[in-house]
Amino acid sequence: MMETDFRNANIVVLTGAGISAASGLSTFRDQGGLWEKYPVEDIASPEGYQRDPELVESFYNARRAQLDASNVAPNAAHFALAKLEQEHQGRLLLVTQNVDDLHERAGSNQVLHMHGELRKACCPVTMQPFFMEQPFSAENVCQCCEKPQRLRPNIVWFGEMPIGMGEIEQALTECDLFISIGTSGTVYPAAGFIRLAKAFGAEAIDINLEPSYSSPFNIFMQGCATQQVPRMVESILSGEPIESTAEEALI
Ligand code: BV8
Protein backbone atom coordinates (compact mmCIF):
# COMPACT_ATOMS: atom_id res chain seq x y z
CA MET A 1 0.00 0.00 0.00
CA MET A 2 1.21 3.56 -0.70
CA GLU A 3 0.13 6.01 2.03
CA THR A 4 1.70 9.10 0.46
CA ASP A 5 -0.71 11.99 0.02
CA PHE A 6 -0.37 12.81 -3.69
CA ARG A 7 -2.79 15.77 -3.73
CA ASN A 8 0.02 18.24 -4.52
CA ALA A 9 2.39 15.80 -6.20
CA ASN A 10 4.04 16.18 -9.59
CA ILE A 11 2.72 13.28 -11.64
CA VAL A 12 3.77 11.72 -14.96
CA VAL A 13 1.30 9.31 -16.59
CA LEU A 14 2.30 7.00 -19.48
CA THR A 15 -0.47 5.26 -21.38
CA GLY A 16 -0.28 2.45 -23.93
CA ALA A 17 -2.66 0.57 -26.18
CA GLY A 18 -4.29 -1.18 -23.20
CA ILE A 19 -6.11 2.00 -22.15
CA SER A 20 -7.87 2.11 -25.51
CA ALA A 21 -8.63 -1.64 -25.69
CA ALA A 22 -12.01 -1.25 -23.97
CA SER A 23 -12.86 1.44 -26.56
CA GLY A 24 -12.59 -1.15 -29.31
CA LEU A 25 -9.11 -0.26 -30.61
CA SER A 26 -6.79 -3.26 -31.02
CA THR A 27 -3.59 -3.43 -29.01
CA PHE A 28 -0.35 -4.50 -30.71
CA ARG A 29 0.83 -7.62 -29.00
CA ASP A 30 -2.27 -9.15 -27.44
CA GLN A 31 -4.07 -12.05 -29.07
CA GLY A 32 -5.43 -10.78 -32.41
CA GLY A 33 -3.36 -7.62 -32.05
CA LEU A 34 -2.43 -5.24 -34.84
CA TRP A 35 0.94 -6.80 -35.37
CA GLU A 36 -0.34 -10.35 -35.67
CA LYS A 37 -1.38 -9.61 -39.24
CA TYR A 38 1.63 -7.60 -40.36
CA PRO A 39 5.33 -8.03 -39.49
CA VAL A 40 6.41 -4.97 -37.50
CA GLU A 41 9.33 -4.22 -39.80
CA ASP A 42 6.96 -3.95 -42.77
CA ILE A 43 4.53 -1.44 -41.33
CA ALA A 44 6.26 0.33 -38.45
CA SER A 45 9.67 1.23 -39.89
CA PRO A 46 10.90 3.82 -42.42
CA GLU A 47 12.48 0.98 -44.42
CA GLY A 48 9.14 -0.83 -44.64
CA TYR A 49 7.48 2.40 -45.79
CA GLN A 50 10.14 2.96 -48.47
CA ARG A 51 9.73 -0.67 -49.64
CA ASP A 52 5.93 -0.58 -49.85
CA PRO A 53 4.27 2.78 -49.10
CA GLU A 54 0.87 1.49 -50.25
CA LEU A 55 0.92 -1.33 -47.64
CA VAL A 56 1.81 1.10 -44.84
CA GLU A 57 -0.72 3.67 -46.05
CA SER A 58 -3.47 1.03 -46.10
CA PHE A 59 -2.55 0.00 -42.52
CA TYR A 60 -2.81 3.57 -41.25
CA ASN A 61 -5.83 4.50 -43.41
CA ALA A 62 -7.70 1.54 -41.85
CA ARG A 63 -6.78 2.68 -38.33
CA ARG A 64 -7.76 6.27 -39.12
CA ALA A 65 -11.13 5.10 -40.43
CA GLN A 66 -11.63 3.01 -37.27
CA LEU A 67 -11.29 6.19 -35.15
CA ASP A 68 -14.45 7.55 -36.81
CA ALA A 69 -16.44 4.34 -36.25
CA SER A 70 -19.58 4.94 -34.18
CA ASN A 71 -18.55 2.22 -31.67
CA VAL A 72 -15.16 3.80 -30.89
CA ALA A 73 -15.28 6.34 -28.06
CA PRO A 74 -13.29 7.29 -24.97
CA ASN A 75 -13.84 4.99 -21.96
CA ALA A 76 -13.94 5.55 -18.18
CA ALA A 77 -10.15 5.42 -17.96
CA HIS A 78 -9.75 8.27 -20.46
CA PHE A 79 -12.40 10.33 -18.64
CA ALA A 80 -10.76 9.71 -15.26
CA LEU A 81 -7.43 11.06 -16.55
CA ALA A 82 -9.21 14.12 -17.95
CA LYS A 83 -10.75 14.64 -14.48
CA LEU A 84 -7.28 14.33 -12.93
CA GLU A 85 -6.02 17.05 -15.32
CA GLN A 86 -8.91 19.30 -14.32
CA GLU A 87 -8.81 18.80 -10.53
CA HIS A 88 -5.25 17.87 -9.55
CA GLN A 89 -3.39 20.58 -7.59
CA GLY A 90 0.12 19.49 -8.58
CA ARG A 91 1.72 19.27 -12.05
CA LEU A 92 0.52 16.53 -14.44
CA LEU A 93 2.18 15.39 -17.67
CA LEU A 94 0.12 12.90 -19.69
CA VAL A 95 2.39 11.06 -22.16
CA THR A 96 0.82 8.55 -24.49
CA GLN A 97 2.37 5.97 -26.81
CA ASN A 98 -1.05 5.80 -28.45
CA VAL A 99 -1.72 7.56 -31.72
CA ASP A 100 -5.51 7.67 -31.29
CA ASP A 101 -7.33 10.82 -30.10
CA LEU A 102 -9.35 9.27 -27.27
CA HIS A 103 -7.58 11.22 -24.51
CA GLU A 104 -8.49 14.49 -26.24
CA ARG A 105 -12.06 13.35 -26.91
CA ALA A 106 -12.41 12.57 -23.18
CA GLY A 107 -11.38 16.15 -22.35
CA SER A 108 -7.62 15.94 -21.71
CA ASN A 109 -6.11 19.15 -23.10
CA GLN A 110 -2.40 18.55 -22.53
CA VAL A 111 -1.49 15.24 -24.20
CA LEU A 112 2.04 14.45 -25.39
CA HIS A 113 1.83 11.88 -28.21
CA MET A 114 5.40 10.54 -28.13
CA HIS A 115 4.74 8.12 -31.04
CA GLY A 116 2.75 10.53 -33.19
CA GLU A 117 -0.93 10.88 -34.10
CA LEU A 118 -3.15 8.98 -36.54
CA ARG A 119 -5.10 12.08 -37.58
CA LYS A 120 -1.97 13.92 -38.70
CA ALA A 121 0.25 13.68 -41.76
CA CYS A 122 3.70 15.14 -42.27
CA CYS A 123 6.01 16.07 -45.10
CA PRO A 124 8.89 13.51 -45.24
CA VAL A 125 11.37 16.34 -45.78
CA THR A 126 10.31 19.01 -43.26
CA MET A 127 8.57 16.50 -40.92
CA GLN A 128 6.06 19.30 -40.18
CA PRO A 129 2.85 17.65 -38.83
CA PHE A 130 -0.67 18.89 -39.63
CA PHE A 131 -4.21 17.51 -39.39
CA MET A 132 -5.30 15.76 -42.58
CA GLU A 133 -8.79 14.48 -43.35
CA GLN A 134 -8.27 12.59 -46.59
CA PRO A 135 -6.64 9.13 -46.70
CA PHE A 136 -2.93 8.69 -47.44
CA SER A 137 -2.21 8.07 -51.15
CA ALA A 138 0.34 8.90 -53.85
CA GLU A 139 -1.84 11.85 -54.87
CA ASN A 140 -1.60 13.37 -51.40
CA VAL A 141 1.51 15.55 -51.55
CA CYS A 142 2.96 18.36 -49.48
CA GLN A 143 2.80 22.05 -50.34
CA CYS A 144 6.02 23.04 -48.59
CA CYS A 145 8.62 21.66 -51.01
CA GLU A 146 9.52 22.83 -54.51
CA LYS A 147 9.14 19.24 -55.67
CA PRO A 148 5.95 18.15 -53.76
CA GLN A 149 6.62 15.09 -51.58
CA ARG A 150 4.24 12.20 -50.88
CA LEU A 151 2.80 12.87 -47.40
CA ARG A 152 3.54 10.19 -44.77
CA PRO A 153 1.75 9.26 -41.54
CA ASN A 154 2.81 11.48 -38.61
CA ILE A 155 3.88 8.34 -36.74
CA VAL A 156 7.18 7.55 -35.00
CA TRP A 157 8.41 4.27 -36.48
CA PHE A 158 11.13 2.00 -35.11
CA GLY A 159 14.52 3.69 -35.40
CA GLU A 160 12.93 7.16 -35.39
CA MET A 161 13.23 9.60 -32.49
CA PRO A 162 10.11 9.77 -30.32
CA ILE A 163 8.50 13.19 -29.87
CA GLY A 164 9.00 15.36 -26.78
CA MET A 165 11.79 13.34 -25.18
CA GLY A 166 13.41 16.41 -23.57
CA GLU A 167 10.18 17.47 -21.88
CA ILE A 168 9.40 13.90 -20.81
CA GLU A 169 12.84 13.24 -19.29
CA GLN A 170 12.76 16.57 -17.41
CA ALA A 171 9.32 15.73 -15.98
CA LEU A 172 10.44 12.21 -14.98
CA THR A 173 13.37 13.59 -12.97
CA GLU A 174 11.02 15.97 -11.12
CA CYS A 175 7.99 13.76 -10.53
CA ASP A 176 6.81 12.32 -7.21
CA LEU A 177 4.57 9.71 -8.86
CA PHE A 178 4.93 7.80 -12.15
CA ILE A 179 1.87 5.93 -13.39
CA SER A 180 1.96 3.40 -16.26
CA ILE A 181 -1.39 2.32 -17.73
CA GLY A 182 -1.99 -0.45 -20.29
CA THR A 183 1.46 -0.87 -21.75
CA SER A 184 3.50 -4.04 -22.18
CA GLY A 185 6.72 -2.14 -21.46
CA THR A 186 8.40 -3.63 -24.53
CA VAL A 187 9.20 -0.49 -26.52
CA TYR A 188 11.98 1.91 -25.61
CA PRO A 189 12.54 4.63 -24.60
CA ALA A 190 9.01 4.52 -23.05
CA ALA A 191 9.75 1.22 -21.29
CA GLY A 192 12.66 2.88 -19.51
CA PHE A 193 10.66 5.79 -18.02
CA ILE A 194 9.95 3.84 -14.82
CA ARG A 195 13.65 3.42 -14.06
CA LEU A 196 14.41 7.11 -14.59
CA ALA A 197 11.49 8.17 -12.39
CA LYS A 198 12.48 5.73 -9.62
CA ALA A 199 16.13 6.80 -9.86
CA PHE A 200 14.96 10.33 -8.96
CA GLY A 201 12.87 9.15 -6.03
CA ALA A 202 9.40 8.78 -7.50
CA GLU A 203 6.91 6.16 -6.39
CA ALA A 204 5.28 4.18 -9.19
CA ILE A 205 1.99 2.51 -10.05
CA ASP A 206 1.36 0.01 -12.87
CA ILE A 207 -2.18 -0.63 -14.09
CA ASN A 208 -2.48 -3.62 -16.40
CA LEU A 209 -4.36 -6.85 -16.96
CA GLU A 210 -1.04 -8.69 -16.64
CA PRO A 211 2.09 -7.86 -14.61
CA SER A 212 3.93 -7.20 -17.92
CA TYR A 213 6.82 -5.14 -16.59
CA SER A 214 5.58 -4.52 -13.08
CA SER A 215 8.58 -5.58 -11.03
CA PRO A 216 10.06 -2.09 -10.41
CA PHE A 217 6.65 -0.61 -9.51
CA ASN A 218 5.59 0.00 -5.90
CA ILE A 219 1.96 -0.77 -6.63
CA PHE A 220 0.42 -3.07 -9.25
CA MET A 221 -3.29 -2.53 -9.82
CA GLN A 222 -4.27 -5.60 -11.77
CA GLY A 223 -7.39 -5.36 -13.87
CA CYS A 224 -9.08 -3.50 -16.67
CA ALA A 225 -8.08 0.15 -16.98
CA THR A 226 -11.75 1.18 -17.06
CA GLN A 227 -12.07 -0.06 -13.46
CA GLN A 228 -8.62 0.63 -12.01
CA VAL A 229 -7.90 4.12 -13.39
CA PRO A 230 -11.03 5.82 -11.95
CA ARG A 231 -10.28 4.15 -8.57
CA MET A 232 -6.71 5.38 -8.61
CA VAL A 233 -7.70 8.92 -9.65
CA GLU A 234 -10.21 9.14 -6.77
CA SER A 235 -7.49 8.05 -4.31
CA ILE A 236 -5.06 10.65 -5.64
CA LEU A 237 -7.61 13.50 -5.55
CA SER A 238 -8.78 12.59 -2.04
CA GLY A 239 -5.31 11.88 -0.60
CA GLU A 240 -6.39 8.34 0.29
CA PRO A 241 -3.86 5.44 0.36
CA ILE A 242 -3.45 3.53 -2.92
CA GLU A 243 -3.41 -0.26 -2.73
CA SER A 244 -2.21 -3.05 -5.00
CA THR A 245 -5.04 -5.19 -6.25
CA ALA A 246 -2.68 -8.10 -6.90
CA GLU A 247 -2.20 -10.72 -4.14
CA GLU A 248 0.66 -8.74 -2.64
CA ALA A 249 2.30 -5.39 -3.34
CA LEU A 250 5.26 -5.75 -5.71
CA ILE A 251 8.34 -4.24 -4.12
C1 BV8 B 1 14.12 5.18 -30.64
C2 BV8 B 1 4.12 3.22 -34.13
C3 BV8 B 1 16.19 6.23 -30.83
C4 BV8 B 1 2.86 3.90 -33.71
C5 BV8 B 1 5.52 2.17 -32.50
C6 BV8 B 1 16.76 0.08 -26.10
C7 BV8 B 1 16.73 -1.28 -25.93
C8 BV8 B 1 16.17 -2.10 -26.90
C9 BV8 B 1 15.64 -1.56 -28.09
C10 BV8 B 1 15.71 -0.21 -28.26
C11 BV8 B 1 16.25 0.61 -27.28
N12 BV8 B 1 16.15 1.89 -27.73
C13 BV8 B 1 15.59 1.91 -28.96
C14 BV8 B 1 15.29 0.62 -29.31
C15 BV8 B 1 14.66 0.20 -30.55
C16 BV8 B 1 13.13 0.29 -30.49
C17 BV8 B 1 12.56 -0.68 -29.50
O18 BV8 B 1 12.23 -0.30 -28.40
N19 BV8 B 1 12.40 -1.91 -29.92
C20 BV8 B 1 11.76 -2.89 -29.05
C21 BV8 B 1 10.76 -3.70 -29.86
C22 BV8 B 1 12.81 -3.74 -28.40
N23 BV8 B 1 12.69 1.63 -30.19
C24 BV8 B 1 12.63 2.56 -31.16
O25 BV8 B 1 13.01 2.35 -32.31
C26 BV8 B 1 12.09 3.93 -30.80
N27 BV8 B 1 12.99 4.92 -31.29
O28 BV8 B 1 14.42 4.72 -29.59
O29 BV8 B 1 14.89 6.02 -31.37
C30 BV8 B 1 16.81 7.26 -31.64
C31 BV8 B 1 17.80 7.99 -31.06
C32 BV8 B 1 18.40 8.96 -31.79
C33 BV8 B 1 17.99 9.19 -33.10
C34 BV8 B 1 17.00 8.46 -33.69
C35 BV8 B 1 16.38 7.46 -32.95
C36 BV8 B 1 10.75 4.21 -31.47
C37 BV8 B 1 9.67 3.44 -30.82
C38 BV8 B 1 8.28 3.78 -31.44
C39 BV8 B 1 7.89 2.69 -32.37
N40 BV8 B 1 6.52 2.90 -32.85
N41 BV8 B 1 4.38 2.18 -33.18
C42 BV8 B 1 1.68 3.06 -34.10
O43 BV8 B 1 1.66 2.45 -35.17
O44 BV8 B 1 0.74 3.06 -33.28
S45 BV8 B 1 5.67 1.14 -31.16
C46 BV8 B 1 4.19 0.49 -30.69
O47 BV8 B 1 4.45 -0.20 -29.42
C48 BV8 B 1 3.12 1.51 -30.38
O49 BV8 B 1 3.56 2.83 -30.47
C50 BV8 B 1 2.77 1.20 -28.95
O51 BV8 B 1 2.36 2.31 -28.34
C52 BV8 B 1 4.06 0.69 -28.41
C53 BV8 B 1 3.98 -0.02 -27.11
O54 BV8 B 1 2.97 -0.99 -27.19
P55 BV8 B 1 1.83 -0.97 -26.05
O56 BV8 B 1 1.13 0.33 -26.10
O57 BV8 B 1 2.45 -1.36 -24.76
O58 BV8 B 1 0.84 -2.08 -26.59
P59 BV8 B 1 0.99 -3.67 -26.45
O60 BV8 B 1 0.00 -4.28 -27.37
O61 BV8 B 1 2.43 -4.05 -26.54
O62 BV8 B 1 0.55 -3.97 -24.94
C63 BV8 B 1 -0.77 -3.68 -24.52
C64 BV8 B 1 -0.77 -3.82 -23.00
O65 BV8 B 1 -2.06 -3.45 -22.53
C66 BV8 B 1 -0.52 -5.25 -22.52
O67 BV8 B 1 0.40 -5.21 -21.44
C68 BV8 B 1 -1.91 -5.71 -22.03
O69 BV8 B 1 -1.79 -6.60 -20.94
C70 BV8 B 1 -2.52 -4.40 -21.61
N71 BV8 B 1 -3.99 -4.38 -21.69
C72 BV8 B 1 -4.79 -4.87 -22.68
N73 BV8 B 1 -6.07 -4.58 -22.39
C74 BV8 B 1 -6.08 -3.88 -21.23
C75 BV8 B 1 -4.76 -3.75 -20.77
N76 BV8 B 1 -4.44 -3.11 -19.63
C77 BV8 B 1 -5.46 -2.58 -18.92
N78 BV8 B 1 -6.76 -2.68 -19.29
C79 BV8 B 1 -7.11 -3.31 -20.43
N80 BV8 B 1 -8.41 -3.39 -20.80
* pTM summary value: 0.94
Shortest-distance Cα residue to atom 34 of ligand 1: 161
How many angstroms separate the alpha carbon of residue 22 from the centre of ligand 1? 19
> Given a cut of 50, is residue 251 above it in pLDDT?
no
Shortest-distance Cα residue to atom 14 of ligand 1: 188
Q: What is the mean pLDDT of the chain?
A: 92
Q: What average pLDDT score do residues 32-53 get?
A: 85
Q: Is the CB of 15 under 6 A from ligand 1?
A: no
How many angstroms separate the alpha carbon of residue 115 from the centre of ligand 1? 9
What are the backbone angles phi and psi of residue 221, rounded to the nearest 5°?
A: -100, 100
Q: Is the CB of 225 under 6 A from ligand 1?
A: yes
CB 204 within 8 A of CB 180: yes
Band of residue 246 on the pLDDT scale cut at 50, 70, 90: low
Looking from the CA of residue 29, the nearest atom of ligand 1 is 60
Give pLDDT, residue 228: 96
Shortest-distance Cα residue to atom 11 of ligand 1: 188
Active site residue 115: yes
> What does each C-alpha distance from 170 to 43, 94, 167, 187 come to in angstroms?
31, 13, 5, 20
For the segment 101-132, what is each residue's pLDDT rounded down to a tens digit? 999 999 999 999 999 999 999 999 999 999 99
Cα separation of 219 and 183, whole Å?
Answer: 15
- The lowest-confidence range among 25-39, 51-65, 89-103, 210-224 is 25-39
Percent of the chain having pLDDT more than 70? 97
How many angstroms separate the alpha carbon of residue 10 from the centre of ligand 1? 24
Shortest-distance Cα residue to atom 5 of ligand 1: 157
How many angstroms separate the alpha carbon of residue 185 from the centre of ligand 1? 7
> Given a cut of 80, is residue 1 above it in pLDDT?
no
Beta-strand relationship, 129-131 and 116-122: antiparallel
